[in-house]
Amino acid sequence: MDKDVSAGRTTSPLEHLGHLALGLTLLAFGLGHTEVIDGVGAAAAVTLATYVGGVALFVAGLLAFRDRDAFTGTAFAALGALWFTWGVSADARVSANAAGLFLLLFALVALTLTAGASGSALTRATYALMFVALLLIAVARFGGSEGLAQVGGWFAAGGGLLAWYGATASLANWPAVLPGRPAGRGVTAAG
């Protein structure tokens, strides 16, 4: 029984794979930006971002398109492109403004995914946290603020944990949503 309780629909194996890949990549990217682990910066996530976040997500997106799942295909293919591009261009010499623009553009993609997510609240929250993280890190690149990049890293790590938990909860049949509030007096099932 792998039901997404909030949406009442079955979660596909591609969604499990995609959310695990996104969760691990976003968590590594975020923790690297927080610099909470000594000697581990954002560049430490490059290999993971290239292959797990980039290739695995992109392939999962293409397979979702094949299964006629437009939202999942769009989300995973776009995010796969983001992580692959970020990973392979990590050693390139670009200006802080160019890096900020790249992150800002993909923050807009994350915002679109947040608005378009009709699945679980965990999925919507993951994309929302990713949007905030990319926006903060983009602004940090434009302004040269390491502190703001660290705050963005915490948002990315939180989004990564949500994506990971959502995939794990679905696979393990754990609760993926909070239980509904009980109806008060005078409230009927119809309204």
**What span, in angstroms and rounded, lies between the C-alpha atoms of 103 and 105?**
5
Q: Give tens-digit pLDDT for 93-137.
A: 888 899 899 999 999 999 999 999 887 888 899 999 999 999 999
pLDDT at 187 over 70: no
Place of tokens 């990217």: 29
Query: Cα separation of 167 and 189, whole Å?
Result: 31
Q: Tell me the pLDDT band of 190, cut-offs 50, 70 and 90.
A: very low
CA atoms of 160 and 14, how far apart (whole Å): 17
Mean pLDDT over each residue of the chain, to the nearest integer = 84
Contact status, residue 86 vs residue 45, Cβ threshold 8 Å: no
Pick the CATH number of 11-172 from 1.20.1070, 1.10.3470, 1.10.8, 1.25.40: 1.25.40
Q: String of b and e for 36-65 (b: at least 16 CB within 10 Å)?
A: eeeeeebeebbebbbbbbbebbbbbbebbe
What pTM, to 2 d.p., does this model score?
0.82
Residue 5 confidence (pLDDT) above 50: no
User: What pLDDT is attached to residue 62?
Assistant: 94
Rounded Cα–Cα distance for residues 173 and 40 (Å): 34
pLDDT band of 38, cuts 50, 70, 90: confident
| pLDDT band (50, 70, 90) for residue 60 | very high
